[in-house]
């Protein structure tokens, strides 16, 4: 090639490369312009788009040194093209917002929370947050709109009301307060059964609240987010303070639900459980009308499809006993029982952490060592990031929130067959109840409506000595309808599907709290296993003289003395006296239900006797 030809060739190459560079730059500008028209500031990379096909968006590493952030999950960055000047949340009335973060992934919400200093990164990667003055539910600040549709369907003796006009003023003030703020919006489902789930749009002021509720509810597939139509909308603004006079509420804190509109407003509380329980409360209202029983219970299922339900109040062992390595965990807190079987309302767990240990509860403890878990109101060492689960200085109600797949043997579907066994748990601190007893359907309804357990000093702030607690349906704060609605549903389902019912006492033996000792967990698990596998159905039983239920006389591997509580007391007459006192508590509590139950249920009530037989 001559010198002239070489020069000509090189000039052509340079021209070609220059044109290519200009084209790339122009194309990039066009893309950037298009990106600015999206509601979210960032667009997923090719790697992000590939990772959307992954089923789990959280890492498997167990240590802080090796933990890495997860890839983007299936339902992430659902972006909606709106005009640049418009930031609103369709279906909620929220408008003129500074920014809306739509359906961010767990990774993005975690990063947003850290960058906004909403929490700190604990050892091994969980996000640790505190919630200020409210470290539990504000039950006295919860209201339901009283209108034509709720007048005759809500149990008003148990639920506070506000007028439609008061709620509308509250809603208007919420919308005004939100203007100019950034919100995080998550589109989710409440309920694993497609036939009975509800679509929920949750709008939160805090990124960590968005991460929390993505753990708690069930996440749609990406395709399901297109055209997502929420049946329930929740707006959670911790910075909003209600005006009691203007809004008809008790304090500046408010949790108000308009069931006709499908709208819940939460203000002046950072406690994340309010959002979770708001969804539960709405399902508790909607499902009975469809013949579906909503339940405050945990559930698991054996290899042969033998499902079991565990009802129980806080401190009774509901989460602990349903976590069994030999059975699949369906869920730990909220379920429905329909014509199809049982189904989890949620997609995650919200477990108490006070005095949590790897020895006693290894599976739950392991979730506190995982990236992406949320530690709520858990004391964390500022130097090491290590949580101290024995420190209750923030609250006895410290929690860890995590997705179901953090539990090794958790159900992928959240669905199981009709239950064969129903366990009603009580922590009887008076030392009267046997460790296990078999119930008739009428006795089951009686104890379900009673919802008995006992609290002792140190378990909750303000509790001194021993206090009997009766929370109907094992969840009175979450029951909008009259308890008889749920009791009758449960009794009908038990009869229809032939479930066996058991009362299990995880409380005290050998005397009341302060004298006796806690029921041995080994004995409880042995009796529970025998109940679930059917072997306990064939043992000899006795009739309890006070409560009338059937109690095993003996059981292999269990100290027979435990099975007769009176024998564990040093003074039998002292047992009889305390038993009569407890029976009277049951009778007094049940008076409010007498006009709502049949004769068979009343006949299942305990009896005061002058002496044990």
* Active-site annotation holds for 215: no
Region for 458 from its dihedrals, namely left if φ exceeds 0, alpha if ψ lies in -120 to 50, beta otherwise: left
**Beta 254-258 vs 142-145: how paired, if at all?**
parallel
- The residue from 333, 428, 544, 576 that is catalytic is 333
* Active-site annotation holds for 314: yes
What are the strands, taking DSSP E only, across 378-418? 399-403, 415-416
Tokens of 585: 């508590």
- The residue from 101, 277, 438, 481 that is catalytic is 277
- The residue from 124, 209, 399, 491 that is catalytic is 399
**Cα(59)–Cα(356) distance, rounded to whole angstroms?**
23
Tokens of 285: 């209202």
Other C-beta atoms closer than 10 Å to the C-beta of 603 total 12
Cβ atoms 553, 586 nearer than 8 A: no
- The residue from 52, 101, 134, 137 that is catalytic is 137
Cβ atoms 20, 37 nearer than 8 A: no
**Cα(17)–Cα(243) distance, rounded to whole angstroms?**
67
φ, ψ at 321 (rounded to 5°): -75, -25
Q: Tokens 């809603």 — which residue?
A: 171
DSSP string, 441-470: HHHHHHHHHH-EEEEETTSSTT--SEEEEE
* Active-site annotation holds for 333: yes
* Active-site annotation holds for 576: no
**Cα(576)–Cα(567) distance, rounded to whole angstroms?**
11
Tokens of 376: 């709520």
Within 8 A by CB and 6+ apart from 480, the residues are: 144, 153, 154, 155, 159, 259, 281, 284, 285
* Active-site annotation holds for 45: no
**Cα(450)–Cα(471) distance, rounded to whole angstroms?**
7
* Active-site annotation holds for 277: yes
Tokens of 51: 């990772």
How many helices (H) and strands (E) are present in the chain, helices listed first?
Answer: 16, 28
Other C-beta atoms closer than 10 Å to the C-beta of 317 total 23
- The residue from 218, 296, 482, 566 that is catalytic is 296
* Active-site annotation holds for 399: yes
Tokens of 16: 């070609």
* Active-site annotation holds for 172: no
* Residues known to be catalytic: 137, 277, 296, 314, 318-319, 333, 399
């Amino acid at each position: 090639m001559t010198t002239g030809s070489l020069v000509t060739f090189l000039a052509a190459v340079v021209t070609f490369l220059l044109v290519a560079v200009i084209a790339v730059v122009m194309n990039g500008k066009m893309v950037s312009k298009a990106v600015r028209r999206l509601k979210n500031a960032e667009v997923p990379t090719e790697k992000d788009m590939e990772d959307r096909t992954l089923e789990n968006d959280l890492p498997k590493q167990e240590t802080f040194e090796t933990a890495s952030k997860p890839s983007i999950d299936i339902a992430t960055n659902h972006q909606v093209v709106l005009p640049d000047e418009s930031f609103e949340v369709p279906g909620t009335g929220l408008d003129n917002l500074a920014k809306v973060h739509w359906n961010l992934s767990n990774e993005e919400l975690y990063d947003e929370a850290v960058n906004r200093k909403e929490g700190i990164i604990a050892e091994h990667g969980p996000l640790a947050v505190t919630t200020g003055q409210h470290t539990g539910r504000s039950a006295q600040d919860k209201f339901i709109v009283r209108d034509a549709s709720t007048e005759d369907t809500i149990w008003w003796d148990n639920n506070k009301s506000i007028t439609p006009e008061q709620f509308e003023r509250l809603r208007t003030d919420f919308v005004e307060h939100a203007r100019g703020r950034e919100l995080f919006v998550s589109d989710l489902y409440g309920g694993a059964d497609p036939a009975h789930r509800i679509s929920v749009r949750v709008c939160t002021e805090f990124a960590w609240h968005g991460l929390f509720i993505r753990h708690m509810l069930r996440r749609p597939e990406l395709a399901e987010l297109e055209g997502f139509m929420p049946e329930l909308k929740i707006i959670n603004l911790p910075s909003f303070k209600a005006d009691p006079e203007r809004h008809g509420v008790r304090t500046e804190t408010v949790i108000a639900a308009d069931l006709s509109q499908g709208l819940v407003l939460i203000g002046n509380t950072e406690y994340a459980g309010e959002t979770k329980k708001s969804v539960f409360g709405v399902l508790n209202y909607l499902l009975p009308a469809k013949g579906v029983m909503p339940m405050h219970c945990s559930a698991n299922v054996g290899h042969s499809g033998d499902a079991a339900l565990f009802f129980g109040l806080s401190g009774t062992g509901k989460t602990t006993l349903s976590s069994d390595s030999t059975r699949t965990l369906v869920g730990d807190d909220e379920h429905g029982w329909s014509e199809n079987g049982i189904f989890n309302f949620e997609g995650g767990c919200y477990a108490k952490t006070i005095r949590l240990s790897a020895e006693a509860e290894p599976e739950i403890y392991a979730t506190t060592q995982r990236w992406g878990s949320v530690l709520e109101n858990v004391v964390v060492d500022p130097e090491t990031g290590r949580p101290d689960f024995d420190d209750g200085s923030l609250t006895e109600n410290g929690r860890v929130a995590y997705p179901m797949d953090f539990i090794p043997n958790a159900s992928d579907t959240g669905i199981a067959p009709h239950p064969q066994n129903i366990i009603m748990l009580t922590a009887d601190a008076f030392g009267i109840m046997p460790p296990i007893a078999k119930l008739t359907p009428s006795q089951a309804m009686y104890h379900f409506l009673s919802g008995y357990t006992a609290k002792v000093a140190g378990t909750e702030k303000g509790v001194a000595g021993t206090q009997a607690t009766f929370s109907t349906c094992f969840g009175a704060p979450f029951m909008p309808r009259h308890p008889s609605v749920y009791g009758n549903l449960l009794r009908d389902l038990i009869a229809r599907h032939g479930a066996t019912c058991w009362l299990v006492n995880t409380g005290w033996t050998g005397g009341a709290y302060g004298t006796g000792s806690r029921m041995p967990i080994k004995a409880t698990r042995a009796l529970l296993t025998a109940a679930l596998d059917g072997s306990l159905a064939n043992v000899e039983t006795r009739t309890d003289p006070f409560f009338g239920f059937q109690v095993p006389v003996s059981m292999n591997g269990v100290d027979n003395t435990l099975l007769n509580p009176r024998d564990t007391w040093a003074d039998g007459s002292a047992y009889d006296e305390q038993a009569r006192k407890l029976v009277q508590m049951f009778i007094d509590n049940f008076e409010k239900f007498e006009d709502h139950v049949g004769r068979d249920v009343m006949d299942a009530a305990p009896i005061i006797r002058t002496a044990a037989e």
